[in-house]
């Protein structure tokens, strides 16, 4: 073997071991490390209760000190916003939308929208600098000090929640509901929106208890709800869950999301990294040695033929 | 130095020799007053201010990106198409250095240069798309988001860019007459090629895998568990087609650089590349059919998006596959070149379909993305600067020809 080729092989082997195994281990550790925290909090939203006062929108803006704040009475009075379907924006972490009620047209259905705080968040698995973290209390938080601004999280969110400060030229951030992480981390704290709701549309508590509560409500009130707790299983489960009197696709929810957590969709591909780095160099070196051998044999044949000619 | 000799015979200084093509600055400047450069100047006159505008005023005023459509043509065209069409370096490198296809050896340097510049300018375009472009090294040095397919893309594209730089370096050292450096770098070519094959396989397919996380946004005809394979196969096709196109163009424009220019040799090689493209297209087409069967998405074919899908898969994959087969069998080199352009356009269509046209298909038209004129201008500007860089290097470095002072590289 040529010394240079041996050196090259050494280099290759060393490099492969470091990059592949280091990389693969970390990938696995991280995916396994997206835990379903057993004691995480959640919120159960009962859309049959909400009256559309929009106080939650106001409280959210106040607590998070978001731009374009208005007085509380302006929120309560302004019904024109319900004419269009709204989504979360850079300055708005939560919105309430109005839907027609097919069972009773005089009583429209109001649905609050905000980050669902997935068990295994698509945004966290999409982020290449790990700016998103699923906290043990249930909140999915965002660290702007790491964000590069690729906006993959926005594309990867099945609920279209993260928004972007497009008008910020130098330090734009992704924005989304924080589950009032600071408030709920303290004993007895509830999110600002839950705290202000005058009709107790939202119930804050341990997610496991809320699932029991949701099914109990469905059982105890026959005919009031459809038998589905939205968020119990959607994309692997979310911390925020909803009850509804009409099928969820009638009130702006996507019912085609399935129950597979978004991170699991990319996982099989990531598991290919190590095999490629192990098998391809081996195959390539194989090809290369065949080629070398073929060239050598051809050269020898030519040499022999020439010798024969000269010998004659 | 003998003064009379210096006046009788113009002896260029180092700068004049290396940068001004052996001319004085005045002559060099005059030689650049061409219609092509006039067009380029006009593009840059509009494009550079647009770039500055985007950097100073942000993405909001300069793009049509929105909260529902976070990615536009800077990702869908500049990044996805740029990287796919720059796969020629890896395809030709594999053929020449690993499989020993010596007759393709002369394509290696131009293909590597095209590949290197393709990646470089894809990254430059991506920089403008990033909200905080100045943090572009963050996934390497600050925080590792190893769960993310994009993390893999970032690392692999960066590493692969370095690989291609290493493969291209001998040409730089020959230009600068640095014999020792050249020797070292030529020895690393094989390692760089093998490493590059691994990296290419993974990041080409990873660019498709980005969409694996969005089953609810990408149209079912394009969403498939096979996306990684589709992207990898179509990148090989894009690389082959671009090598045909690039070699045609550069052997025409820079023919004067090549001693004993033999168009027949290029024609034979073009037929070989056309054959490979045809085979790859057939394989890709059958994989696409398997994808339809696997996802059981046949019913979508009889919809508007379905017809569009058929335009892509039949018009730009199956038809070119047959056309190239016919052209190769009848040795119609011109036809191979024309259809290579169709194939490259098909790759562009495929990437734009994934990222823009079939993306967010469930949204009403009012919420869909149409590029802002500044996005288009910036894209055109980046491509133009890429072409200028290519020309600048081709005019100076031994890319198409063997440098007379050095032994040719052994493949």
Residues A191 and A45 occupy one common structural domain: yes
The whole-number pLDDT of residue A7 equals: 58
Give the CA count within 13 Å in the CB-facing half-sphere of B28. 14
Residue whose C-alpha is closest to residue B193's, from B92, B75, B325: B92
Give the CA count within 13 Å in the CB-facing half-sphere of A116. 24
The whole-number pLDDT of residue A28 equals: 45
C-alpha span between B324 and B341 (Å, rounded): 11
User: What percent of chain A has a predicted confidence (pLDDT) above 70?
Assistant: 88
Nearest residue, CB atoms, A30 vs list B99, B146, B202: B146
Chain B nearest-CA distance from A203, in A, is 29
More confident residue, A37 or B343: B343
C-alpha span between B243 and A280 (Å, rounded): 23
Give the containing element (helix H, strand E) for B56: helix B35-57
Last residue of a domain, one of A262, A285, A302: A262
Please answer yes or no on whether A147 and B144 come within 8 Å at the CB atom.
no
Q: Contact, B366 vs B224, CB < 8 A? A: no
Average pLDDT over residues A297-309: 91
Residue whose C-alpha is closest to residue B78's, from B38, B51, B42: B51
Most confident of A265-274, A275-284, B337-346: B337-346
The whole-number pLDDT of residue B5 equals: 46
Q: Which residues of chain B have pLDDT under 70?
A: 1-9, 409-411
Give the containing element (helix H, strand E) for B5: helix B3-8
Residues A198 and A215 occupy one common structural domain: yes
B45-63 as b/e, with b when 16 or more CB fall inside 10 Å?
A: eebeebbebbeeebbbebb
Q: Which two tokens stand for residue B378?
A: 């910036």
Q: Which two tokens stand for residue A91?
A: 């300055």
Give B146's contacts in chain A (Cβ within 8 Å).
23, 26-27, 30
Please answer yes or no on whether B100 and A130 come within 8 Å at the CB atom.
no
Nearest residue, CB atoms, A128 vs list B98, B145, B212: B145
Give the containing element (helix H, strand E) for A97: strand A95-99
Residues A257 and A293 occupy one common structural domain: no
Task: Count the domains in chain A.
Answer: 2
Residue whose C-alpha is closest to residue B115's, from B94, B84, B150: B84
Residues A296 and A192 occupy one common structural domain: no
Q: Is the pLDDT of residue A31 over 50?
A: no
Q: Is residue A50 included in any domain, yes or no?
A: yes
Q: Is residue A216 included in any domain, yes or no?
A: yes
Residues 6+ apart with CB under 8 A from A248: A226, A228, A230, A242, A255
Give A298's contacts in chain B (Cβ within 8 Å).
none
Q: Is residue A7 included in any domain, yes or no?
A: yes
Q: Is residue A130 included in any domain, yes or no?
A: no
Q: How does residue A33 score in pLDDT terms, banded at 50, 70 and 90?
A: very low
Strand partners, A41: A206
Q: Contact, B46 vs B317, CB < 8 A? A: no
Residues A244 and A292 occupy one common structural domain: no
Q: How does residue A27 score in pLDDT terms, banded at 50, 70 and 90?
A: very low
Give A121's contacts in chain B (Cβ within 8 Å).
none
Please answer yes or no on whether A170 and B201 come within 8 Å at the CB atom.
no
C-alpha span between A141 and A133 (Å, rounded): 5
Please answer yes or no on whether B198 and A280 come within 8 Å at the CB atom.
yes
C-alpha span between B244 and B282 (Å, rounded): 18
Please answer yes or no on whether A148 and B130 come within 8 Å at the CB atom.
yes
Residue whose C-alpha is closest to residue A148's, from B139, B30, B247: B139
The whole-number pLDDT of residue A311 equals: 74
Q: How far is CA A137 from CA A43, A259, A260, in A?
A: 12, 22, 22
Give A125's contacts in chain B (Cβ within 8 Å).
147-148, 213
C-alpha span between B145 and B143 (Å, rounded): 6
C-alpha span between A196 and B370 (Å, rounded): 40
Q: Is residue A129 included in any domain, yes or no?
A: no
Please answer yes or no on whether B143 and A171 come within 8 Å at the CB atom.
no
C-alpha span between B80 and B85 (Å, rounded): 9
Please answer yes or no on whether B68 and A156 come within 8 Å at the CB atom.
no
Please answer yes or no on whether B150 and A126 come within 8 Å at the CB atom.
yes
The whole-number pLDDT of residue B2 equals: 46
Is the sign of the CA dihedral B341, B346, B351, B355 positive or negative? Answer: positive
Residues A231 and A95 occupy one common structural domain: yes
Task: Name the 3-class secondary structure at B218.
Answer: strand
Q: How does residue A179 score in pLDDT terms, banded at 50, 70 and 90?
A: very high
Note down the domain range covering A300.
1-33+272-312
DSSP letter assigned to residue A118: B
Residues A216 and A167 occupy one common structural domain: yes
Give B63's contacts in chain A (Cβ within 8 Å).
166
C-alpha span between A87 and A154 (Å, rounded): 13
Please answer yes or no on whether A276 and B131 come within 8 Å at the CB atom.
no
pLDDT digits (tens, 9 = 90+) for A214-252: 999 999 999 999 999 999 999 999 999 999 999 999 999
Tokens 């991170």 correspond to: A263
Q: Is residue A146 included in any domain, yes or no?
A: no
Nearest residue, CB atoms, B68 vs list A160, A167, A266: A160
Of the candidate ranges A54-68, A137-151, B56-70, B394-408, the one whose mean pLDDT is the lowest: B394-408
Residues A115 and A27 occupy one common structural domain: no
Average pLDDT over residues A59-81: 91
Nearest residue, CB atoms, A254 vs list B191, B197, B216: B216
pLDDT digits (tens, 9 = 90+) for A180-207: 999 999 999 999 999 999 999 999 999 9
Q: Which domains does chain B have, with CATH numbers?
A: 15-396 (1.20.1630.10)
C-alpha span between B406 and B411 (Å, rounded): 15
Q: Contact, A226 vs A244, CB < 8 A? A: yes
CATH number of the CATH domain containing A237: 3.30.70.20
Residues A280 and A167 occupy one common structural domain: no
The whole-number pLDDT of residue B402 equals: 82
Q: Is residue A134 included in any domain, yes or no?
A: no
Please answer yes or no on whether B198 and A276 come within 8 Å at the CB atom.
yes
Q: Which two tokens stand for residue B100?
A: 């020993």
C-alpha span between B118 and B205 (Å, rounded): 17
Give A156's contacts in chain B (Cβ within 8 Å).
213-214
């Amino acid at each position: 073997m040529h010394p240079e080729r041996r050196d090259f092989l050494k280099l290759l082997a060393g490099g492969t071991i470091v990059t592949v195994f280091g990389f693969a281990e970390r990938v696995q550790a991280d995916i396994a490390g997206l835990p379903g925290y057993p004691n995480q909090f959640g919120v159960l939203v009962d859309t049959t209760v909400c009256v559309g006062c929009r106080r939650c929108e106001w409280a959210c803006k106040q607590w998070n000190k978001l731009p374009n704040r208005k007085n509380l009475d302006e929120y309560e009075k302004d019904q024109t916003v319900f004419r269009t379907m709204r989504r979360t924006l850079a300055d708005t972490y939560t919105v309430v939308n109005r839907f027609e009620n097919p069972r009773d047209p005089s009583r429209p259905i109001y649905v609050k929208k905000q980050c669902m705080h997935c068990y295994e968040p698509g945004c966290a698995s999409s982020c290449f600098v790990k700016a998103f973290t699923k906290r043990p209390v249930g909140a999915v938080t965002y660290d702007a000090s790491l964000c590069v601004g690729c906006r993959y999280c926005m594309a990867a969110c099945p609920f279209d929640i993260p928004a972007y400060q497009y008008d910020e030229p130098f330090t734009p951030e992704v924005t989304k509901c924080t589950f009032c992480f600071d408030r709920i981390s303290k004993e007895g704290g509830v999110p600002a929106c839950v705290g202000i709701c005058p009709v107790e549309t939202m119930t804050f508590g341990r997610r496991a208890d809320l699932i029991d509560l949701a099914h109990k409500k469905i059982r105890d009130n026959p005919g009031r709800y459809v038998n589905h707790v939205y968020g119990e299983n959607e994309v692997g489960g979310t911390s925020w869950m909803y009850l509804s009197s009409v099928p969820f696709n009638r009130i702006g929810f996507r019912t085609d999301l399935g129950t597979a957590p978004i991170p699991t969709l990319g996982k099989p591909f990531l598991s290919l990294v190590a095999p490629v780095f192990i098998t391809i160099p081996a195959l390539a070196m194989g090809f290369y040695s065949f080629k070398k051998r073929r060239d050598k044999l051809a050269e020898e044949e030519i040499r022999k033929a020439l010798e024969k000619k000269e010998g004659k | 130095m003998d003064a009379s000799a210096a006046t009788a015979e113009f002896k260029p200084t180092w700068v004049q020799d290396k940068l001004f093509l052996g001319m004085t600055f005045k002559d060099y400047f005059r030689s650049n007053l061409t219609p092509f450069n006039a067009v380029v100047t006009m593009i840059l006159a509009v494009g550079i201010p647009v770039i500055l505008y985007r950097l100073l005023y942000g993405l909001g005023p300069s793009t049509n990106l929105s909260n529902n459509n976070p990615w536009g043509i800077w990702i869908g065209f500049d990044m996805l198409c740029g990287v796919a069409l720059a796969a020629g370096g890896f395809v030709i490198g594999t053929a020449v250095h690993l499989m020993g296809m010596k007759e393709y050896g002369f394509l290696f340097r131009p293909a590597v240069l095209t590949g290197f510049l393709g990646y470089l300018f894809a990254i430059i375009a991506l920089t403008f798309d990033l909200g905080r472009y100045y943090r572009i090294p963050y996934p390497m040095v600050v925080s590792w988001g190893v769960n993310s397919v994009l993390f893999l893309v970032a690392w692999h594209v960066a590493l692969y860019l370095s690989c291609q730089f290493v493969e291209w370096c001998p040409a730089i050292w020959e230009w600068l007459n640095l014999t020792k450096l050249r020797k070292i770098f030529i020895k690393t070519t094989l390692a760089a090629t093998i490493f590059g094959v691994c990296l290419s396989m993974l990041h080409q397919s990873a660019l498709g895998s980005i969409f694996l996380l969005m089953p609810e946004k990408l149209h079912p005809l394009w969403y498939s568990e096979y996306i990684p394979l589709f992207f990898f196969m179509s990148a090989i096709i894009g690389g082959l087609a671009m090598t045909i196109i690039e070699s045609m163009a550069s052997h025409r424009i820079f023919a004067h650089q090549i001693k004993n220019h033999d168009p027949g040799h290029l024609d034979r090689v073009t037929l070989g590349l056309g054959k490979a493209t045809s085979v790859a297209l057939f394989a890709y087409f059958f994989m696409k059919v398997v994808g339809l069967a696997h996802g059981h998405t046949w019913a979508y074919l009889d919809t508007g998006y379905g017809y569009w899908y058929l335009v892509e898969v039949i018009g730009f994959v199956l038809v070119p596959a047959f056309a190239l087969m016919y052209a190769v069998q009848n040795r119609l080199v011109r036809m191979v070149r024309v259809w290579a352009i169709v194939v490259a356009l098909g790759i562009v269509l495929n990437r734009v379909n994934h990222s823009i046209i079939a993306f967010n298909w469930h949204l009403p038209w009012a919420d869909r993305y149409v590029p802002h004129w500044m996005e288009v201008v910036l894209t055109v500007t980046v491509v133009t600067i890429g072409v200028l860089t290519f020309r600048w290097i081709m005019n100076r470095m031994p890319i198409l020809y063997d440098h007379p002072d050095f032994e040719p590289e052994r493949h």
